[in-house]
Amino acid sequence: MTPTFLGISTAAPGNFFKNIDRIGEYLTINVPSVFDLTELQSLAVGTLGRELVDHFAIHQLPPLTSGPRRKQLHDAVHVITGYGIDPIGELEVQAFMLGSKFFPMHILLGIALFDPTDRQRQTSQLNYRTIFHRVRRAYQRGQRSGFDIDTWQPEQQWHLPLTQVQQLFHL
């Protein structure tokens, strides 16, 4: 059986992201690409922009350069928070985002991550209590951060050291 989220197949991330783009198009919230990889690649090591490019390279991820702004900035949130790209890290990102600004979709995405998170738990040394504490800390960190994905303008911060951007948001 193919896993779904809100009736959208999540078996292949590419399909999931295409569906997000279709929904964004319907809601007229799609925006042009938020970043230019070539430009970010030319920035100094340690800057937010260069760390984002390195994040894509290290994890062999394609950049999300279409659709809604929130989608395109997802990996930049991983970079500024330091949360992993595994299911638990993804759950931490959603908890952080929910703590920083209530948006029901973060709850739904978090619920969708329960099954992959449980599979990761079964193959690791983590127990439910540890996962719960990590997610709770991410939520509380989001509450304290002052971060708002809807008003964040990373385009004005790509050239800044990542540590400085993290300090701006009390991370």
The torsion of the CA quartet 28, 30, 31, 32, rounded to 10 degrees, works out to -120
pLDDT tens profile 46-105 = 999 999 999 999 999 889 888 889 889 999 999 999 999 988 888 899 889 889 887 656
pLDDT tens profile 19-36 = 777 877 888 888 999 999
pLDDT tens profile 155-165 = 999 999 999 99
Residue 13 — pLDDT band, cuts 50, 70, 90? Answer: low
Which residues does residue 140 pair with via DSSP β-bridges, in sequence order? none
Q: What is the pTM of this model?
A: 0.80
SS3 state of residue 3 = coil
